[in-house]
Amino acid sequence: MKTISTLVVISLLIFFVAGDSFLPKPLSTISFNTRNSVNKMLLGLMPNPKIEKPSKQHDNEVNRMEQRVKGERGSLLDNN
């Protein structure tokens, strides 16, 4: 019984992982769709990180600094 269940589990893993590469058409499609569904489900369980691109963060910082410098320069010119 233990050998049969081990064989079934290994067969299912092979079907999920690589079945679409060697099985005939209807089974390969099922294997591909099953793997994609499992991947989407597992990715859905993980939180979606709100990470900005480093270049975008850098550009935002540069823009903020430029606005501050322009504001300070304008106030210095108004005082003269």
What's the structural domain count of the chain?
2
Q: What is the pTM of this model?
A: 0.53
Are 31 and 3 in a shared domain?
yes
Q: 38 with 30: CB under 8 angstroms?
A: no
Give 21-55 pLDDT, tens digit per residue: 888 999 899 999 999 999 999 988 988 777 767 78
Q: 35 with 16: CB under 8 angstroms?
A: yes
Q: 33 with 23: CB under 8 angstroms?
A: no
Are 28 and 12 in a shared domain?
yes
Higher pLDDT, residue 17 or 74: 17
Alpha helices in 1-80 (DSSP H): 2-22, 25-45, 54-79
Are 56 and 41 in a shared domain?
no
Nearest C-alpha neighbor of 20 from the set 5, 44, 41, 36: 36
